[in-house]
A = this chain, B = another copy of it.
């Protein structure tokens, strides 16, 4: 297919690369030049203006947050000048409110909008092993199925309204942050009782919690090395905020998210913003008088 791609960060680069490998004709745009040139060497075409990426059958947007997307995509000439039958796939983790707004904006212009946030970190994206949560008009999703298949190993169809996928993604990250926090508190508790926390993680990941969330982050918490950020802590706070915003919109309290917010704020105040978000575990350890 003839596809545009906006946003070549750690996640976007891997996803775009998979599209090129799958034989799609990719027009990429990125604010900074470097990542685009890397894609060009793999076979992508670098375009100068955002709107040039909106002239194919589909375009994938993978930018950091609501504000960035708004500034890049909602400027004059972009959606207004898009090819009429294009499907706009937004894979970024955005707020439910902004996704609803994008639904309206696309509807007004008769453009197809599919939300397709992803589960997985950059290494997973680079391997084409993402789980993709797709929501939107089934016909639109069908049209871009080859792209979703190229970027992920599985597509989960969530519903016919794009923002539904965004909420599921936000909830999943909330569950993930909650699992990290619960493990962190448990590890601090075990250590203060002079119990080897490896034993704790071994038992839980060998029994009731034998799942990626615990198998990835349990050992990460034990290692205590967070410099290589699969997912930055500052973005973790952003996602907790998205959960809180969705909670306020809907009138659904989210007490665990209140705890998470505080601990991410604590971690950022202690210099961990650019570390992997599992560094939030240091808050539980520090509060228990255990320095890392």
- Contacts from A to B (Cβ < 8 Å): 96, 119, 131, 133, 154, 156, 158-159, 163-164, 167-168, 171-172, 174-176, 178-179, 181-183, 185-186, 188-193, 195-196, 199-200, 202-204, 206-214, 237, 243-244, 246-259, 261-263, 265-266, 268-270, 283-284, 287-289
Contact = CB atoms under 8 A, between A and B. Distances in A.
Interface centre among A168, A181, A248, A283 (most CB of B within 10 A): A168
Given A175-B183, A212-B210, A269-B289, A262 B251 contact: no
Contacts of A263: 253, 255
Given A168-B190, A253-B266, A258-B261, 5 more contacts: A96-B193, A185-B257, A192-B251, A253-B287, A255-B263
A177 to B, nearest CB: 9
Contacts of A203: 131, 133, 156, 158, 168, 172
B262 A253 contact: yes
Nearest to A181: B256
Contacts of A209: 175, 179, 211-213
What secondary structure prevails in chain A residues at the interface with B? Answer: helix
B208 A212 contact: yes
Given A250-B193, A259-B258, A207 B199 contact: no
Contacts of A208: 119, 172, 175-176, 211-213
A246 B193 contact: yes
Interface centre among A193, A250, A266, A288 (most CB of B within 10 A): A193
Contact of A167 (B179, B189, B207, B244): B189
Contacts of A181: 178, 255-256
A285 to B, nearest CB: 9
B171 A186 contact: yes
B158 A253 contact: no
B185 A256 contact: yes
A195 B159 contact: yes
